[in-house]
Amino acid sequence: MTCHTRMRSIYFMAGLLAVIFLLGACASSKPEAVHAPEKIVVLSLDELPVHTYSIEGTVSQLVDDRPALKKLHAEYLADLKADLAKYEINDTATLQGKYRSLATMELIAGNSREAVKLLNQVADMEDKEASRLTSGMVTKVLIQAKDSLPENYTQTEFQDSFVAHLSQYVNDLPYEVVQDNIKSSKGRAEYLSENLLRGVIQSQLDPAVAATGELSADQAGTVLGIRFTMDQMLALNPMVAKVYGDYLDKNMVEKENIWPAREFVFRDKMMRPEVLIGIWDSGVDSDVFRDIMFVNKNEKIDGTDTDGNGWVDDIHGIAFDLDGVYNTHLLHPLGDQEGKLDKVFGYMQGFTDLTSAIDSKAAGDVRKEMANMPPEKVGDFLTSLSFGGLYSHGTHVAGIACQDNPFARIMTARITFDYHNTPKAMTMETAQRMADGYRATTKYFSENQVRVVNMSWGWTFKEIEGSLEANGVGESAEERASMAREMIDVLSEGLYDSMADTPEILYISAAGNDDNDVEFDVVIPSSFELPNLVIVGAVDQAGDPTSFTSGGRNVRVYANGFQVESEVPGGGLMKMSGTSMASPNVCNLAGKILAVKPDLSPEAVVQLIEKNADPNQDHPNILLINPRKTIESIK
């Protein structure tokens, strides 16, 4: 289970793998299918074949074993090509991932022209302008720089050629379009190091492969990509950071922020009915929102079910642990992060600033710490970073959902995510308990007259399969895939039924941050279709689609999900990005609508939001919420 700021790895692993796989953003919409009769049509991710590769020893040993890597490369490359020849993949993001991995493999094989061709195919499939313009940029410039030199060029000549080509490439890009991508890429270039890559192998890949005795296709691609990055890309990073920094300094113009002019703030003195908003998330610090928290006046904290409603100590809401068992901790316990919270928040703020090209003290501290971090410390760093995101997530979401709405009241329903590098394996028993917990939670919402629920989280087939793989569950990759399919079906049925059985509640869900199609990748709840459910994608301050937002036909509206400021536990403020932040912005609007017109049904609220949304001028299918316009249409 994942909060949609990508809690298990927050921004770090997303950026890291972006480098490893030559990543630009993946498009989310499906291409027009051109059916080749000889190909097998694939309609969802779990229909693709499973490939595994036997290795001897650890992944840490493998990454330095050139003969073994050569053998793995040949096997993995053959499987990639075979899959693309055999299957018609009607999902742009998945197809881009295949082409991107294939480009890396061709580069490793020395086939630079074929790699460029593949990278251009990836870029051509982009429907996000910024990602189309920057996709595979550094790799293509690397190839151009080498091709422009005589056969016996020196290292100095290559560096001069690379900087010149990259500078020309970047300076020709429209700053107002690509600035966010360039900022995040500059941050990656500044923090990525061989020690970090080896630390990721030690903390994440070594344990998983030790459990199964083999590499999955995704793991194989990651290992080969890491070796390529260490061999070819890391040495370029100082030059990349310098070129990008100069480009940003030269332009220094921020995108126009369209959202303040669209906000609606209650200014009249009318007494309006309270609107109870459920924050179904990783937990909320009730002390931060003390004056607006839901209060069960018939309950008292004494370790018993005082009011006889079936819940113990449910003063401000309810909570379930990682195993789907009820407990009374509405904010996630610190656990193994006890005593580290100040450092955790420092990591989060610094890393956010670093990847946003903000030259703050926090960014400098994190940059310095990461530069000097030995591989064996990387796992703990990633764990703390992931915990910080998890610990803060629900509180941050709650702050957005109730901002500038004096009639909003918050009820907490905590669900628990695993922030460790090796996540706990899902079991069928746990899946069933969680499904039952979903039904119990929505019933609790209904019994207490909750009107709107924000859900900035989800489950994916791939995630469950990965937890099984990381723990060596199952006799084979095929068995793990089958188990994951059964478990996601149990969770899906429980969650879908629980929402369908409470039609009076409007559920608002984040689409996700994998830049994928939520239907193809089997993502719940964002792949559901229900009249009382709205799926929300993320745009930036100018209303342009973010590089990370997932999409698909189920995503109905978009809201600001870029560097959104809100509260974190303890009462401080922090900026976070993700569809997790976009979803509560729509929840905020729904709460205000219901404060003005409380008799509206969920369907009527959705219609108002969609009717008054504005199409993005470059992407008319992206509807941007307009709170002011929406509220004024019903006043």
Instruction: Tell me the domains of the chain and their CATH numbers.
Output: 2-251 (no CATH), 274-632 (3.40.50.200)
pLDDT for 358: 80
Q: Tokens 């370029």 identify what position?
A: 236
Calpha distance 37→419 (Å, rounded)? 44
Q: What is the pLDDT of residues 280-307, one digit of tens each?
A: 999 999 999 999 999 999 999 999 999 9
Task: Supply the pTM of this predicted model.
Answer: 0.87
Nearest-angstrom CA–CA distance, 160 and 182: 21
- Pairing mode of beta strands 533-539, 506-510: parallel
In this predicted structure, which of 34-38, 349-353, 476-480, 547-551 has the lowest mean pLDDT?
34-38
> What pLDDT sits at residue 1?
54
Task: Summarize the confidence of residues 33-51 as an average pLDDT.
Answer: 75
Report the alpha-carbon distance of residue 421 to residue 18 in Å, rounded. 18
pLDDT at 22 over 50: no
pLDDT single digits (tens) 143-172: 999 999 998 999 999 999 999 999 999 999
Tens digits of per-residue pLDDT, 458-478? 998 888 998 999 898 988 889
Q: pLDDT at position 520, please?
A: 67
Give the model confidence (pLDDT) of 235-270 as tens digits. 999 999 999 999 999 998 888 899 999 999 998 778
The proportion of the chain whose per-residue pLDDT surpasses 90, expressed as a percent, equals: 70
Q: One-letter amino acid identity for 431? A: A
pLDDT tens digits along 65-104? 999 999 999 999 999 999 999 999 888 888 888 999 999 9
pLDDT in tens, 491-549: 999 999 999 999 999 999 998 877 656 666 678 898 899 999 999 999 999 999 888 88
Given pLDDT bands bounded at 50, 70 and 90, which one contains residue 368? confident
Residue-wise pLDDT for 388-407, tens only, equals 999 999 999 999 999 999 99
Say whether pLDDT at 18 is over 60: no
Q: Whole-number mean pLDDT of the chain?
A: 89
Give 361 or 430, the one with higher predicted confidence.
Answer: 430
SS (H, E, C) 517-567: ECCCCCEECCCCCCCCEEEEEEECCCCCECCCCCECCCEEEEEECCCEEEE
Residue 605 has pLDDT above 70, yes or no: yes
Return the structure tokens found at 164: 């010149």
Residues 6 or more apart from 438 whose CB is under 8 A from it? 491, 494, 495, 498
pLDDT score of 387: 93
Predicted confidence at residue 356, as pLDDT, reads: 77
**pLDDT over 50 (residue 9):** no
